[in-house]
Every structure is written in structure tokens, then in C-alpha cells.
């Protein structure tokens, strides 16, 4: 299999923005907690898919298992809106919501 040189150059950029040690796995999603992730706004889940692999950062340790389970039920194409909504729903269901309707463990 040929390796795309653009993907090889892009992966270290995104793993650096993750703010925590993480790498793109083979055909799956790696999830890590990083309150300092620059992949997304603070308190959000950030997902970047490159080729057939993806990395994901979550704001707190307690969301790692929830998001990992949700991501492992989905293909790597999780960056499409339909898949992101499924993952988001799973996180909200597991975390619970506050009076304002936002997930309590991500606020």
C-alpha cells in the first residue's frame, strides 16, 4: 500500500494540536483526554480523521471511555454530521445534563 505523503505530514500537526500524547491508529479511532486540546474549543470533543484513522480529544478523563465506546461502534467517517450527532447523543446520555441542558461533566 502506498503511503500518502500529505497524510504523513498532516498527522504530526494534528497530534501536536491534541495537547496530549496520541497517535493515529490503523483503521480506528484513538481517544485521549486533553483539557488543553487546540483541536476544538475548550470543553468540546475534537475529532480529526485522516485517511482511514482518526484521533479524538475529550475535555475530561471521565469522557474517554464513553467516547471510545461510541467511536468504536462507528466507521472512521465519524466526522460527518450524522455520526457526530450519534456520538454526541451517547456522551450526553452517559454524562447527564444540568438544568441548562448541557452535559454536566463537560461544563
Q: Provide the pLDDT for residue 106.
A: 40
Bridge-based pairing state of the strands 29-33 and 53-58: parallel
Residues with Cβ within 8 Å of residue 73, at least 6 apart in sequence: none
- Evaluate if pTM is beyond 0.85: no
- Give the model confidence (pLDDT) of 51-90 as tens digits: 888 899 999 999 999 888 888 776 666 555 455 555 555 5
* Structure confidence by residue, pLDDT tens digits, 29-59: 899 999 999 998 888 889 888 888 889 999 9
| DSSP count for the chain of H helices, then E strands | 3, 3
Amino acid at each position: 500500500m502506498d503511503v500518502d505523503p500529505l497524510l504523513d505530514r498532516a498527522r504530526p500537526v494534528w497530534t501536536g494540536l491534541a495537547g496530549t500524547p496520541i497517535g493515529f491508529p490503523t483503521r480506528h479511532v484513538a481517544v485521549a483526554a486533553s483539557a488543553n486540546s487546540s483541536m476544538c474549543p475548550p470543553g468540546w470533543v475534537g475529532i480529526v480523521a485522516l485517511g482511514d484513522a482518526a484521533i479524538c480529544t475529550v475535555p475530561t478523563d471521565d469522557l474517554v471511555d464513553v467516547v471510545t465506546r461510541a467511536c468504536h461502534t462507528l466507521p472512521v467517517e465519524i466526522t460527518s454530521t450524522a455520526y457526530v450527532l450519534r456520538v454526541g447523543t451517547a456522551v450526553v446520555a452517559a454524562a447527564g445534563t444540568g438544568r441548562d441542558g448541557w452535559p454536566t461533566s463537560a461544563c
